[in-house]
A and B are shown apart, each in its own frame.
Chain A
C-alpha cells in the first residue's frame, strides 16, 4: 500500500508542476501578446472562416504558401471556425491559440519530467516559453502559433514511443503530425522523423512505418483532402514526387535495417537520437530553401521549438547533473531558476501596450466597432476602400473586411470621405462633437466624422519608375463593382489590383496622382498622416491648384480662386530591399485650426 501511495504521489507531482507552468505560461504569453495585430494573412483566414460559418461553404484547403504550388491545410481554419460556431470572436480565437501554446509548454514539461529527467523539465518549459515569446507569429493569430501545440504533441509521442516501444504512442504521434501538417505545412519536416522512428523502434519495422503513414494519410484526407491533392499535384508537376516517395522508402528500409541496433541503445541515447531525428530534416529543409529556392525568410521554426528547447535544457543542465554527484541538491538549481523565471514573466507586464506605435495601431475589435458605426452612417466596406482618412487607414480597412457585409456594391457617397482618428479619451471634448465620439476602450476613443472631400479618388493613377528609366509605367484605379466570386467574402484593400502588376526592379520611385476638385474661394489643409510621412511619403507636386508652402512637403494648405480641378502627386523612393505595400499612403484633410489635424498629421 505504501508503495502504491508513493507511486500515486510521484504521478501527481509532475502534473501539479505542469499545471503551474501552464497558468504562469498563459499569463506570460497574454502579457507579451496584448492584441490581435491585424495582418493580411490573418484577415484572409478570418474571411475563409466566414465562408464556412456564415455561408456553409467550408474549404478543405488553406491559403497558398510562398512555395510555388504548395498550399496550407484546412485545420487552422477549422479551429477558427470552431470558436466562431461556439459564439466566440477574434479575442476568443486569440485566447484559444494562447491556450494551445500553453498546452505545449505543459505537455513538454510533464513528458520530460517523467520520461527523461525531472530536473530538466522546468528549464525546458522555460526555454520553450522564451522561444514562443520571441516568435513574432504569436501575436498575429495565424497558423504557425497553434501548430506549435501539435508539433509538441508529435515530438512527445515520438519520444515516448522510442523509449517504451508502445504502439499507442506511435498512433498518437502520427495523428499529431497529420494534424500539424494541416495547421501549418512547415510541420511536414516532422514526417521523416516519424517514418524513421516508426521503422526503428518496433520489432516489426514495416508494420510500424505502414501504421504511421496510414494514420497520417487518413488524417490528411479527412481534414484537408483538397490541400493534399493540390500539394501532391504540385510536387508531381515539379518532378519532386517520385524523389520524395523514393526517399521515404529508402529511409524506412535503412531504419528497418538499424532497428535491432537501436533497440539495444540506452534510454538516453534513444532520447538524443529522437531529438536529432526531429531537428535534422528541418535543418536540411532550411538549407534547401536557402540555397536552392533563395527563400531567405525562414521564420516558421515551430516544428523544432519543443525538441530544441528540451535538448538545449539538457545541455544546460548537464554541469549541474555532474555536480549533483557530490551535492545532490545542485541538480535542482536550474529548475529553481526556471521557476523564478516563470514567476517573473507571469508577474512582469511589459509596456508594449503603452508604446506610441501601439496606441495608433488598430485591433480587430476596434475595427469591428468602427465598421458598425460606419454602416450606421450608410458606408459599406466597398465605399471605404479609397475614402477613409486617418492614421493606419489601410490597416483599419483590412480589419473592417472581417465584419463587413457581403455587399459588393458601393453606395453613392458623392464627394464624402470618412475620417477616423483614435485619441485618448481625456482629449475628446476638445476634438469633436459628442455624436462623433466612438468609445473603444475605457481610455481610448475614436473620432468618426464625415467630410466633404476635395479629393476625387475614382481616377487615382499609380506609377512606378525605376531609377534611370526614361518613363514610368502606370495604372488607373478601378473602383468598379467587384466581379470576383460573389459567393465568398472577399478582401479588397486599397491596393487596387493592377498596382501589383507594376513590377519594377528596385530601386524605384512610386507615385500616386490624385485628382482634386477644390471649392471656389475655399482653403483646405491637406496632409499625409503621421505614419505615412514617417515612412517617407511626400507631397511632391501640386498642379492646377494654388497652395501655400514649398514642395516636397508632408503638409500643405490648398486654396482656389476659381474652383478649377487639379492634381496632387504623392511620391516615395524605394531603395533596394524597401517594402512596398502597394497601397496609397493615408491622407487627412482639415479646415484651418482643426484640432484633429494635430493628432493625425505629421509630427
Chain B
C-alpha cells in the first residue's frame, strides 16, 4: 500500500478541495416572486396581525438581506433584520430574524410566525449557477490568485464549474462519450476470461456459478 500513498494523497487532496468548495456558504438571493410574500407581510401588519400597536410595515430588500420596519403610530418603528436561515433557533422556517433598534423578542417571534404563513416555499435561490452573477466575466486562475489568493482561485474554479456551456463544448463532450462508450462496449463484447484466452476453455456450457 505504501508505494501508492502519493496517489491516494493526491486524489484525497482533490476530493477535499471539492468538498471544501462545496461546503463554502452558497450565494443566496431572494427570488423575484418573493415580493408577493412581503406584500402579504405588509397586509398582515396593516391588519394588526404583527402587534396591536403596529399599523403598517416598510420592507427593504438587498440581495439576501431584508430590513423590516414595523410602523407604530405612537412610537418609533421596530426594526427587524432577516437573513437566510442558518440557526436552528429561528422562529421562522426560512429566515433568521434578528431584532434591531426598538424591536423586542416578541416582535421577532410574531414576525417569524407571520413569515411562515406568508412564504409557503423557500424564497431564496442560489445565485451564480449557470450565469455569472451580475453578468461579470469569470477571472482567470492567475488573475484570481493575484486578487485573493487560493480562496479566489477556488471561487473562480467553482464559478467555471457552474457556467452554461456552448455548443462546441457539448459537441466535444458528445464525442468523448461516444468514444468512451464504444471502447467499453467493444472491450466487454470481445474480451475473453483468462482461461478461455489461453485456449483452454473446454466447454462453452461449463458453469462457473
Which A residues form the contact surface with B (CB < 8 A)?
3-4, 7, 10-11, 13-15, 18, 52-53, 56-61, 75, 78, 81-82, 85, 103, 107, 110-111, 113-120, 150, 153, 156-157, 160, 163-164, 166, 168-169, 172, 175-176, 179, 204-207, 209-210, 213-214, 217, 219, 221-223, 225-226, 228-230, 232-233, 235-237, 241-242, 245, 256, 267-268, 271-272, 314, 321, 328, 331-332, 483, 497, 501, 503
Contact = CB atoms under 8 A, between A and B. Distances in A.
B26 A237 contact: yes
Interface stretch (B61-69, B91-99, B102-110, B161-169): B161-169
If over half of A's interface residues share one DSSP class (helix, strand or loop), that class is named, otherwise mixed; here it is: helix
A107 B188 contact: yes
Contacts of A237: 26
Given A10-B196, A107-B189, A110-B189, A57 B26 contact: no
A222 B164 CA distance: 13
Interface in B168-203: 169-171, 173-174, 176-177, 180-181, 183-185, 187-194, 196, 199, 201
A399 B1 CA distance: 57
B164 A18 contact: no
B184 A172 contact: yes
B14 interface: yes
B194 A172 contact: no
Given A7-B199, A164-B193, A214-B11, A58 B177 contact: no
Contacts of B8: 206, 209-210
A504 B161 CA distance: 39
A342 to B, nearest CB: 19
A205 B4 CA distance: 9
15 contacts: A18-B189, A58-B167, A59-B164, A110-B188, A110-B189, A153-B185, A163-B193, A168-B187, A210-B7, A213-B15, A217-B15, A226-B161, A228-B18, A229-B21, A229-B161
Nearest to B171: A85
Contacts of A235: 22
A504 B199 CA distance: 70
Given A56-B167, A58-B164, A59-B164, A175 B184 contact: yes
Contacts of B208: 115-117, 267-268, 271
A53 B190 CA distance: 36
Contact of B188 (A11, A52, A172, A497): A172
B89 interface: no
Q: Among B32, B176, B183, B185, which residue has the most Cβ atoms of chain A within 10 A?
A: B185
A3 B199 contact: yes
A60 B164 contact: yes
Nearest to A82: B174
If over half of B's interface residues share one DSSP class (helix, strand or loop), that class is named, otherwise mixed; here it is: helix
A132 to B, nearest CB: 18
Given A78-B174, A160-B191, A207-B7, A229 B196 contact: no
A462 B64 CA distance: 31
A332 B201 contact: no
Contacts of A221: 161
Contacts of A175: 180, 184
B189 A241 contact: no
A115 B197 CA distance: 11
Contacts of B26: 233, 237
B207 interface: yes
A78 B173 CA distance: 8
Given A56-B166, A169-B187, A241-B19, A314 B11 contact: no
A377 B143 CA distance: 55
Contacts of B184: 153, 157, 172, 175-176
Nearest to B26: A233
A503 B171 CA distance: 43
A107 B23 contact: no
Q: Among B11, B130, B166, B177, which residue has the most Cβ atoms of chain A within 10 A?
A: B177
B206 interface: yes
A268 B209 contact: yes
Interface in B38-68: none
B181 to A, nearest CB: 7
Contact of B189 (A15, A168, A236, A328): A15
B126 to A, nearest CB: 8
Interface string B66-91: 00000000000000000000000000
B205 A332 contact: yes
A20 to B, nearest CB: 14
A160 B181 contact: no
Contact of A117 (B23, B169, B201, B206): B206
A151 to B, nearest CB: 12
B181 A225 contact: no
B158 A153 contact: no
Interface in B110-152: 120-121, 126, 129-130
Contacts of B11: 210, 213-214
